[in-house]
Structure 1
Amino acid sequence: MVDLFLCPIFVLVMANNVFIYDCLRVPSGKKGGLYKKVLCENLTSFLVNQLLERNQKAKSIVTELVVANSIGTMGNMARYAALGSTLYSSVLSSTVDLQCGGTYQAIKHGEALIAANRSQAIIAGGMESNSLMPTRIYNKNDPRYTENSHIGVASFSPNGNIDLKQAAENLALKYGLSKKQMHLWTLNSHKKASQFVGSDLYLKHILAYEGNTTGEQLIRKDLTFESLERLQSKNLIDRTNSADYHDGAGLVLLGGENSFSSKPLAQIVDIEIIGIKPNVAPEGCILGAESLLRKNGLSIDDIDIFEINESFACKPLAFMKYFNLDEGVINVLGGNLAFGHPFAASGALNLINLLCALKLSGKKYGLVSAGAAGGFGCAILIENID
């Protein structure tokens, strides 16, 4: 007789497909600008409420709010946002930090729970306020403490920080990118963004906070190549080809098949976040995407449209050169250089742009990618649902 207690039991669990049913963000604001007195938690509460109003059943089946943040105040900021919204107080809410890869991690968390049948629907995204960044100092017993100095930039590695601008310059040099190329990319980012703003699809997914009519604060319709040359410094990487400090928030509503009566916008095919050396963080947009494609047995030609984080103009340019891509398939609606780079919320901004680009073009597969401070390569592959 076989002793059943000694027999291993194997349970085959089929993963659920996970879909994006809706996505929203607020227009980005400059540091000290549009949202200079607005908590990013309040921006998030506003977006949560809009998602719940727009999607029947959402309030009754959303089990968790996962929001990324990089430079905020102490405490669970996602919980603050949840309590400021119409979500039930029983809904779990958590804040994650992966710097400008934060939204990727938030979505990965939500996607995993739904795929494992642990949740029916989750809201995930990011929020950031450079305007209200708190002033912090190290404790006097901390070996990093120096008198009369505050923490302006986090320490990302015990081996010492490399300035992200220096890392971006190294990336530009590695791929032989000129300042002229980066100026042209910056200029085109603003041009493409200007054309997208005000369109029906833009207005569907980018909502003004509490009736504010200012709109996108960063896009410059009048930007010229000559004006960029006048503003440039002697450095290869400077303000003319880098995103500045911004405020914003963006969220996506995730669910399983038939979680909602409405048709989903897209299916999440896969999410990849890998660790890389911190001093090559900007190159994470390439390394994360390459790892995701390899894992899924795909080539770069299988992807129709790409959205690459534009914290620096050299990143999409290096991506294009590495994969030998045509400029016309990358950041087709403009990128962070025009729309802003609110750190942890940037992934939501980029994903919304990618979804809109797929809808406008009728293309099937899209990939969004970023290199995150601290050394991470982040990528999400989605399939458009017509």
Structure 2
Amino acid sequence: MKKKVYIIGGLRTPIGKTNGCLKDFLPEKLAAFIIKSLIHKYKLQRDSIEEIILGNAIGPGGNIARLSLLEADLPFNTVGTTIDFQCGSSLKAINLAGNLIRSGQRNIVLAGGVESTSLAPNKQYNPRDSRYKGKDVFFKRAQFSPCSIGDPDMIEGAENTAKYCNITRKAMDTWALQSHIRALEARNENKLEDIICSIQTDEKIIKDDENIRRNPSLKLMERTVPILGVHGTITAGNACSTNDGSALIIMASEEAVQKYNLHPEALWIDGESSGVDPNLFPLGAIAASKKLLKLYDFNIDDMDFIEINEAFAVKVLAFLKYFNYPEHRVNIFGGALAYGHPYGASGGIIMIHLLEALKYNNKKRGMATLGVAGGLGESAIIERCD
């Protein structure tokens, strides 16, 4: 019999634009702030936390999870593990934490991710590497796939997917507008106030997600120029921005719940990964979700709500088209097109939003999923506790 894995709760920072409100915060400081906030809110004993697992995609390297937990004053014997699964990193971290607890190796793990695009280091290949282009030339992303297969930039992969799935620019612009409207409504009605931790600085309090447009309109979306030329469909309006932020959840075994008198919000049912053609990487969310649903003999309609990372509107629309899933049950508070995409933290953000969607609407089961650079997908299913 599989051991139960509980989600006690989760928190995130406000999401800042690149070079915006969080531009001066080291990523380990952001993660440490959320770790401390979780300990305070859920009255955790510091020495009960056995491991911190963090996703991070574009930091300076090293083990940022270990650095973050030490910044948070956790004991030296606390394990820190960092995962680079690109924009699926923090959901991968959550799924790994779930399996560690299910196997009996851990009882309490904090899992999620952190990203600072504002402080991303310049990276350069070694002069002996064939990809080296000169001492003043830096690369923005690592190679994800052999050139013989195709190693498209994210925008190229999104364009390929729009063409492959016959998804129009108008449909993408319309979805992006809806994302902003939903996010604006969620903020105006304080629907996410319980999971966003305000950050106090010497000058101000940072409490709002910086990226949400105050007056979104379809006309504004339609004016944006295609990024890859006049025949393209992907624009700055239907693609996400780059951002800073951190998000973590607390995961615990049944033994830990009883021992520390914790009050779980949900059960982590399971998670799955899958691979697809790197040239069509947005389809990774479909592949991972299919695999996970089949594992438990679920139908897509068994999911009351779904959170899909909106790196591009086409990713969500391809998912909806494949599964014929009702759009009013996806990203009900808006998605990354509105909030932004702090790569390594985005899986944690959508998981926390999923928890809130289920709680807010008194529903039972949901799924979080992402399509990932290089042709990967990551999904997880949770169920609210009664």
TM-score range, shorter chain: over 0.9
Query: What is the number of residues matched between the two proteins?
Result: 373
Q: TM-score, normalised by structure 2?
A: 0.93
1:212-251 per-residue CA deviation (whole Å, 9 max, x = no partner) reads 2351100012011111112233320111100011111100
Structure 1 position 56 matched with structure 2 position 49 = no
Equivalent of residue 28 in structure 2, options 32, 38, 41? 41
Equivalent of residue 19 in structure 2, options 12, 16, 32? 32
* Contact 1:40/1:129 (8 A) holds in 2: yes
Give the match for residue 142 of structure 2: 154
1:115-167 per-residue CA deviation (whole Å, 9 max, x = no partner) reads 11111100010111110010111111112111131111211123351122111
CA distance in 1 between counterparts of 2:48 and 2:382 reads 23
CA distance in 1 between counterparts of 2:62 and 2:298 reads 41
SS in 1 for 2:270: strand
SS in 1 for 2:115: strand
Give the match for residue 225 of structure 1: 218
Higher Rg: 1
SS in 2 for 1:177: coil
Counterpart of 1:46, as a letter, is F
SS in 1 for 2:91: helix
- Alpha-carbon RMSD across the aligned residues, in angstroms, is 1.4
Counterpart of 2:236, as a letter, is R
SS in 2 for 1:132: coil
SS in 2 for 1:381: strand
CA distance in 1 between counterparts of 2:224 and 2:124 reads 33
Give the match for residue 262 of structure 2: 262
Equivalent of residue 245 in structure 2, options 234, 245, 248? 248
Deviates most, 118-127 or 147-156: 147-156
**What is the deviation of 1:360?**
1.0
Deviates most, 352-361 or 159-168: 159-168
CA distance in 2 between counterparts of 1:180 and 1:105 reads 32
Task: Could you tell me which runs of 5 or more consecutive residues in structure 1 were left unpaired when the two chains were aligned.
Answer: 1-13
* Contact 1:103/1:345 (8 A) holds in 2: yes
CA distance in 2 between counterparts of 1:83 and 1:198 reads 36
**What is the deviation of 1:354?**
0.9
SS in 2 for 1:333: coil
* Contact 2:197/2:207 (8 A) holds in 1: no
Counterpart of 1:282, as a letter, is P
SS in 2 for 1:204: coil
Q: TM-score, normalised by structure 1?
A: 0.93
**What is the deviation of 1:196?**
1.2
Task: Could you tell me which runs of 5 or more consecutive residues in structure 2 were left unpaired when the two chains were aligned.
Answer: none
CA distance in 1 between counterparts of 2:165 and 2:73 reads 49
Deviates most, 76-85 or 172-181: 172-181
Structure 1 position 130 matched with structure 2 position 117 = yes
Give runs of aligned pairs for residues 157-236 of structure 1, distance below 5 A: 157-159=145-147, 160-197=150-187, 199=189, 201-210=191-200, 212-233=205-226, 234=230, 235-236=232-233
Give the match for residue 359 of structure 1: 359
